[in-house]
Homo-oligomer: A and B are copies of this chain.
């Protein structure tokens, strides 16, 4: 089982076409791709409306036809930075390379001796979770910015309604 495996992490709130294009690009270079779903424990917040399980389902269906083995796995935020890498590696198949543009993640992986590559950037203005969530709240078009399967998942879970509900609050602000 001698394989080239890579790790790529995002929050995927929701998974969109920008993520999709990065992943298809990385997929050409590896045998297997581990997709880490960051801030997995966060959900029902205006910036994080979807659960880890819902995000897993989005990714699973959006990448149905992609030509690489992939894993979609929740990664919780760990408050102590230096142990984050070992937390990740204990919850994922072994991998050789991490793809990320986040400076902290780069630093942590490199201090741990794991090689880092910067993935190609996608057009950030449109293909961003922030923009998509803004459109959902404003009842503007958003489905063309995500894979069809993701739109289906968000419909199944009535995700736009939930986003609107939780956006009217600042957490447990009794």
Contacts and interface: CB of A to CB of B under 8 A. Distances in A.
A87 to B, nearest CB: 5
Interface string A155-170: 1110000100110110
Interface in A39-72: 39-45, 51-54, 56-57, 60-61, 69, 71-72
Nearest to A52: B91
Contact of A53 (B38, B90, B104): B90
Interface residues of A, number: 68
Number of identical protomers: 6
A132 interface: no
A72 to B, nearest CB: 8
B79 A41 contact: yes
B82 A85 contact: no
A89 B53 contact: yes
A114 B105 CA distance: 22
A155 B1 CA distance: 8
A141 interface: no
B9 A174 contact: yes
Contacts of A1: 61, 149, 152-153, 155-156
Given A107-B165, A168-B103, A93 B174 contact: no
B56 A173 contact: no
Contacts of A106: 165
B172 A94 contact: no
A51 B87 contact: no
Contact of A108 (B44, B79, B83): B44
22 contacts: A1-B152, A9-B174, A38-B174, A39-B172, A43-B82, A44-B82, A44-B104, A53-B89, A53-B90, A53-B94, A56-B93, A57-B71, A57-B93, A73-B73, A74-B74, A82-B90, A94-B156, A102-B169, A102-B173, A103-B168, A107-B166, A111-B162
